[in-house]
Structure 1
Amino acid sequence: MPKADSPPAYEDALHHPKLGNNPPNPHPHPPPPAYSSSPAMYEGQAGYWAQDGFYSHGPARAAPGRSPSGMPTVIPTLSGGLPPSHAGEMDDLLSSPWDSTSVRHGFIRKVYLILAAQLAVTFSVVGVFTFVEPVKLFVIRYPGIYWASFAVYFLVYCILICCKKARRRVPWNFLLLGIFTLVLSYMSGTIASYYETKAVFIAIGITAVVCIAVTIFCFQTKVDFTSCGGVFCLLGVVLLVIGIVTAIVLSFKYVPWLHMVYAAIGAVIFTLFLAYNTQLIIGNRELAISPEEYVYGALSLYVDVVEIFLFILQVSGGACE
């Protein structure tokens, strides 16, 4: 081999101008990479090892499920970078308006079917207490039955509020709904037994007209009652205070016609409550009930309708005396 072609000595190579003043490499021969069971370490990796890492001569062939850099492959989707915990939001974004509208229409049908069944039971019980003379006379003769109906109603109402876990299950939902319907029907029947048949008919007719008119109005109007939650809460407090004052005043018989004024105010306030709850069910306003809460939606409308009937019955009963 000619001397000119022989490599320089180690000391000369250290001081070569191209190398500058770099310190000597303490590991002229770096150790091979450690053994790994991952197929990505051996499949399609072409290059050489140096002191500060692995250098590839070209694009490496990626293993299945991995990118050439060894990182897991990320497939772009329409989620916009949402984490897996927001999968429900992604479903809402991808759902079409027609799907949401059909779901809301199905929810409204369920609510009004349940409401129709409840009102049928209630007015059937009211008819028994009104038209069956022995039952009517029995309630009038024993007023304890009348007062017991109020106690049972408030007891069942408190149980219904406290049983949050039971309300999350569909069988318990319908069981509590059926019990509450029977209890409120019993209370309405005992109240109706103290009024004339003509007054009961007038109250039923006015209640039907008011409820139908309010429902049609809520479906057509652009007025948003759901944005006035604070006002409705205040109206409820006002009605409670007026009721307490009326009960105290009537016990001393100072103003005999005061109960008719209170009944008229109560009918107006619960008519507004009916409009508020109807728009919550329709769902095209600021607030709306979830389509899964059809039992709660039917219950809220049912209470409003029965309360309107009872208040109008007081007014019509006082007028017929």
Structure 2
Amino acid sequence: MSALPPSYDAHQNYPNDPSKTAYQIPPPQPAYAQPQPGYAQPQPGYAQPQPAYAQPQQAYTQPQSTGYSNAGYGQAPGTHATQPGYSTQFIDTEYASQPKSDDEGLFGASFSNKAIRRAFIRKVYMILFTQLLVTFSFICLFIFVDSVKRWVQENMWFYLLAYGLFLVFYITLACCPSVRRQYPGNLICLAVFTLAFSYMAATISSFHDTGIVLLAAGITAAVCLSISLFAIQTKIDFTMCSGLLFVLVMVLFFFGWACLITFYAWGGSSRIMSCVYGGLAALVFGLFLIYDTQQVVGGRKYEISPEEYIYGALQLYIDVVYIFIIILGFMGKK
């Protein structure tokens, strides 16, 4: 058997004995000192990723300060903004100024993007102008064609049928968000509603002189245009006046019943009561036109969601047609 090499302890105990140091272990210090430069070399390579690691941190903090500040949400409401780039004010004021959400998404902060707002307004008013064009066509047909005028005046049951369709489809579109948001069912329901309401307005117009009807249509266009421009330019927020509108509607409703009872009790209508009722109705629907216009245009406390273009066009259309009927009642004799 071959002899085992002397251990490291033997080398330490007998440094001068050749038999003990035949297999000397290399001095550890030089061998240990050599890898130190090699060990020191990776240190700069290890230190290099640190700036690269610090850079993503800075890039990650930038979207927090820019993206959140643009949206108005610096931190949670009621806390101080402590991140760099934030203001030191409370965020409650900015958060409270945002449009509120209500009625299953009917109102909301929907116009943060100006392109979305412009597309929504354009779509609403294109639908509105189409509806008004259909209504005006019905009115012209009923007042210029004598055979059609006589038929609608002799068959009032068709007017009652149109009135029933008007109520059913109006309640459906106003109270069922799933119907007015689903294409193409929303456009079909709106088309039926528009035809029914156009027939009603044209039937009422057939009982008046042709010149009076055309004059009332022109006055209605001027009044609605001026009211719409006022609603867009004014700093008064009429979307916060829903309670006032409700009170005026209740007054108009019960005053109308009082006029109807007086008509049947006295065997005729009072001109003064008719003028008061007509003036009150014109005031109410003029305020409704301002209210609905500001909701469509946006920039107020309550704004209509971009998905509710059918609802916006529906409300504006009803306001305009009712103002026309009221003005026609003022100017006509029946």
Please point out which of 180, 196, 209 is paired with 1:167: 180
Deviation at 1:76, TM superposition (A): 4.0
Code of the aligned partner of 2:144: F
Q: Does residue 267 of structure 1 match 2:282?
A: yes
Using the alignment, how far apart are the partners of 2:62 and 2:72 within structure 1?
A: 10
CA contact (8 A) 1:130 1:136 kept: yes
Using the alignment, how far apart are the partners of 1:286 and 1:206 within structure 2?
A: 31
Using the alignment, how far apart are the partners of 1:220 and 1:162 within structure 2?
A: 30
Using the alignment, how far apart are the partners of 1:277 and 1:215 within structure 2?
A: 9
Deviation at 1:142, TM superposition (A): 2.7
Listed as ranges, the matches of 1:169-208 within 5 Å are: 169-208=182-221
Q: In the alignment, what sits opposite 2:328? A: 313
Listed as ranges, the matches of 1:15-164 within 5 Å are: 76=60, 80=64, 92=71, 100-164=113-177
TM-score after normalising by structure 1: 0.68
Q: In the alignment, what sits opposite 1:217? A: 230
Q: Does residue 291 of structure 1 match 2:281?
A: no
Deviations 1:199-243 (A, max 9, x none): 211210110010110111122211211111111111111111112
CA contact (8 A) 2:186 2:310 kept: yes
Deviation at 1:79, TM superposition (A): 6.5
- Mean Cα displacement is larger for which, 270-279 or 232-241? 232-241
Give the direction of change, closer, same or farther, for the CA distance of 1:205–1:157 in structure 2 (3 Å limit). same
Deviation at 1:99, TM superposition (A): 7.2
SS of 2:207's equivalent in the other structure is: coil
Cα RMSD for the two superposed structures:
3.3
Give the direction of change, closer, same or farther, for the CA distance of 1:217–1:157 in structure 2 (3 Å limit). same
Deviation at 1:144, TM superposition (A): 2.3
Q: In the alignment, what sits opposite 2:253? A: 240
Deviation at 1:126, TM superposition (A): 1.1
CA contact (8 A) 1:79 1:90 kept: no
Code of the aligned partner of 1:256: S
Deviation at 1:160, TM superposition (A): 2.8
Deviations 1:13-70 (A, max 9, x none): xxxxxxxxxxxxxxxxxxxxxxxxxxxxxxxxxxxxxxxxxxxxxxxx9xxxxxxxxx
SS of 2:301's equivalent in the other structure is: coil
SS of 1:269's equivalent in the other structure is: helix
Q: How many pairs does the alignment contain?
A: 248
CA contact (8 A) 1:145 1:190 kept: no
Using the alignment, how far apart are the partners of 1:315 and 1:244 within structure 2?
A: 19
Deviation at 1:170, TM superposition (A): 2.5
SS of 2:307's equivalent in the other structure is: coil
Using the alignment, how far apart are the partners of 2:243 and 2:175 within structure 1?
A: 23
Higher percent of residues as helix: 2
Using the alignment, how far apart are the partners of 1:310 and 1:248 within structure 2?
A: 21
- Mean Cα displacement is larger for which, 124-133 or 159-168? 159-168
SS of 1:105's equivalent in the other structure is: helix
Q: Does residue 256 of structure 1 match 2:254?
A: no
Using the alignment, how far apart are the partners of 2:293 and 2:207 within structure 1?
A: 31
CA contact (8 A) 2:232 2:297 kept: yes
Using the alignment, how far apart are the partners of 1:239 and 1:268 within structure 2?
A: 10
Using the alignment, how far apart are the partners of 2:153 and 2:188 within structure 1?
A: 31
Code of the aligned partner of 2:330: V
Please point out which of 289, 292, 315 is paired with 1:277: 292
Deviation at 1:196, TM superposition (A): 1.4
Higher relative contact order (CA 8 A, sep 6+): 2
What is the percent sequence identity of the aligned residues? 40
SS of 1:125's equivalent in the other structure is: helix
